Amino acid sequence: MGLIARAVEAVGIPTVSISITRDLTEAVGVPRAVFVKWPLGHPLGEPNKPLQQRTLIFAALQLLLAASTPGVIAEPGYRWRRENYTEPDWASLKQRG
């Protein structure tokens, strides 16, 4: 997936990726990634947990707007199945960028 992100970025389009394998993401040089230590097959979390999924999307969009150096990996540290998620503050994204 990192190679795809690099190809997209190379034509001038910014990308943000979710990563569940930090070593691979680092080694390939993914332009911007949010890493979560979650099981393979669950980049946005558990099924039918929309708040969890949206929290990860929010973290990715925040990184997209904030990152200024290539290869940055944000690690919000969400634990697998041990977090309580609330609706992200989407309005805070509208003021940026």
Partner 1 sequence: MPEKLTLFERLSNRLFAIPAVAQLWAKRSVAHTRQAVDLTGDIPFATVRKPLAHSRVALITTAGVHLRQQPPFDMENPDGDATYREILATVDLAQLTITHKYYDHTDADADLNVVFPLAHFRDLVQQGVIGSLAPRHFGFMGHIDNAQIPLLNAHTAPEVAAKLRTDKVDFAFLTPA
Encoding tokens for residue 3? 């190679």
As measured in angstroms, the least distance from the Cβ of 86 to partner 1 is 15
The SS3 assignment for 27 reads helix
Cβ closest to partner 1, residue 79 vs residue 84: 79
User: Please, what is the end-to-end C-alpha distance for the chain in angstroms?
Assistant: 25
As measured in angstroms, the least distance from the Cβ of 34 to partner 1 is 10
The identity of residue 9, as a single letter, is E
Query: Hunting for tokens 């980049």 — which residue is that?
Result: 43
The SS3 assignment for 30 reads coil
Cβ closest to partner 1, residue 7 vs residue 75: 7
Residues in contact with partner 1 by the rule CB under 8 A: 1-24, 27-31, 37-48, 50, 53-54, 57, 60-61, 64-65, 69-71, 90, 93-94, 96-97
As measured in angstroms, the least distance from the Cβ of 76 to partner 1 is 15
